[in-house]
Chains A and B, each alone.
Chain A
Amino acid sequence: MNPLNSILILAAAFLAVFGEAAFPLLHHWLGAQVDLLPALMVCAALNTDMVTVSLLAVLGGMGFDALSENPFGVSILPLFAVGFVIYVRRDLILRELPFAQFVLGAMASAVTPGLTVLLLLTGGQNPLLGWGSIWQWLVMTAGGAAATPIVFEFFNWCQQTLGYQPQTETTFRPDREIRRDKKLK
């Protein structure tokens, strides 16, 4: 595991939650805000360890709920459920393929809000639901799906730019260089 990836993912989650609250442009245009935490969770579950998945679920969920009217902590379990299932099955997933990332992002972005609303209803809350919620759910699913390959590309780029790159050894050795100087002959 590379700690840089984990730190970057947690920092990205912090910024993603802030961005969702501070820039409601998508909400104005499409009637729904896209949540980037499920996309980040897919990336964390495929590229990092269980500690990062757990931290992302706890810190990301708490950050989201802190800026929302959600009861504090209600977003933790849905995020973790998605991350846990992907993490346990990640050896069977072709994680390098953008299409696989897209499908996983769509599934995660569809399941996470569904589970959150289910928890809210179970807890006696009364969220704003109606026929328009189906449209919002579709926008969240499509937005999360489109964002997931971009998130993967971004973290790959960060890893290549900021991470430690091991020096590749060459077969060239200066002490075995054949010199063709006339004086030495």
Chain B
Amino acid sequence: MLKKKHYLALGAVVLTALLILSLPQRATSRLKLAASSLFLPLFGLLNTAQQLPGDAANAVMPRHALVKEITELQNQNQQLRIQMMQAAAIGRENDQLRALVAWQRQAPWKLKLANVVMRDPANWWRTVQIDLGKRDGVVENMPALTPEGLVGRVSAVGFARSQVVLLGDPNCRVSAMVENPTHDIGIISASGPLDSSLVDLTYLSGNADLKPGENVVTSGEGGIFPRGIFIGQIVDSRPVEFGLYTEARVKLSANLGGLEQIWVLSQ
């Protein structure tokens, strides 16, 4: 049965666990970063191993294919330049109109590209880690997005890595607006643990008239996410709490299950 050394081990482990759990938030964060940095060499090795096939493929790529690709990219670049000129003209016009009605001018977005290096090993959280940190100017609560739409926000920052909490995680709530005539505003919150492409849009007004396919964007309220980032589209809606408010399911435009690169947005 139980011997003295068993009691000692039991006491030591329970004491260690309680001590760590009762540490202040700041100390815990530092300990967590220190422990996660032990895995950095392995992530470096993995990254190198993943790049090797790509490098090998590039080395054997024929010249005519490269020339063709360059030509296509040049054409695309010219198109984008023209679109940018048009966007700049619209931006100037927008600024003038904003000045006329004394609205605050929106700051331009600054984007930083980050690679997703790992996913949360626990099934009850929805987070990823990226290879940008304090040294790259990343701070907490910066929005993270892909060209398809919003994916989440930075929740913890280390020196060279950061944690991004994704949409659908209970710790990532976003004020969102439906692009319909009434501009209904609700909160994007957690959905089921299995399907990462669907989230719930809750606390919409009881008389909200939502139609499937309507776009959902960030509302700009809350101070973290700027207004107008695309989130997804309404799938269906239903009244809850005896019609007190409406809840809708939103199909996310970004594929959270297959994230490889994301943009971190700083204003």
Chain B residue contacts of A12, Cβ below 8 A: none
| B165 contacts A69, C-beta separation under 8 Å | yes
Chain A residue contacts of B121, Cβ below 8 A: 17, 20-21, 33, 35, 64, 67-68
The answer to whether the Cβ of B171 comes within 8 Å of any Cβ in the partner chain is: yes
Interface residues of A in 49-78 (CB under 8 A from B): 50-51, 53-54, 57-58, 61-74, 76-77
How far is the CB of B19 from the nearest CB of chain A, in Å? 8
The answer to whether the Cβ of A8 comes within 8 Å of any Cβ in the partner chain is: no
CA distance A120 to B39 in the complex (A): 24
Chain A residue contacts of B9, Cβ below 8 A: 50-51, 53-54, 84
| A67 contacts B118, C-beta separation under 8 Å | yes
Chain B residue contacts of A127, Cβ below 8 A: 122, 124-125, 170
| B31 contacts A72, C-beta separation under 8 Å | yes
Contacts A57-B13, A67-B36; is A131 near B20 (CB within 8 Å)?
A: no
Interface string of B162-193 (1 = CB under 8 A from A): 01010011110000000000000000001111
CA distance A50 to B10 in the complex (A): 9
Contacts A126-B171, A128-B126; is A135 near B194 (CB within 8 Å)?
A: yes
Contact of A70 among B14, B33, B125, B155 (CB under 8 A): B125
We find that the number of chain A residues with CB closer than 8 angstroms to chain B is 56
| B42 contacts A140, C-beta separation under 8 Å | no
| A69 contacts B13, C-beta separation under 8 Å | no
| B2 contacts A128, C-beta separation under 8 Å | no
Contacts A72-B31, A128-B193, A130-B193; is A67 near B21 (CB within 8 Å)?
A: no
Chain A residue contacts of B192, Cβ below 8 A: 130-132
Stretch in A24-32, A103-111, A151-159, A167-175 with 4+ CB within 8 Å of B: A24-32
Further contacts, 18 of them, CB under 8 A, given A22-B43, A73-B17: A17-B39, A18-B42, A33-B119, A33-B122, A63-B35, A63-B38, A64-B122, A68-B121, A68-B127, A70-B122, A73-B21, A76-B20, A88-B6, A116-B122, A128-B123, A128-B126, A128-B168, A128-B169
Contact surface of B with A, Cβ cutoff 8 Å: 1-2, 5-6, 9-10, 12-14, 16-17, 20-21, 23, 28-29, 31-33, 35-36, 38-39, 42-43, 46, 117-127, 129, 155, 163, 165, 168-171, 190-195, 257-258
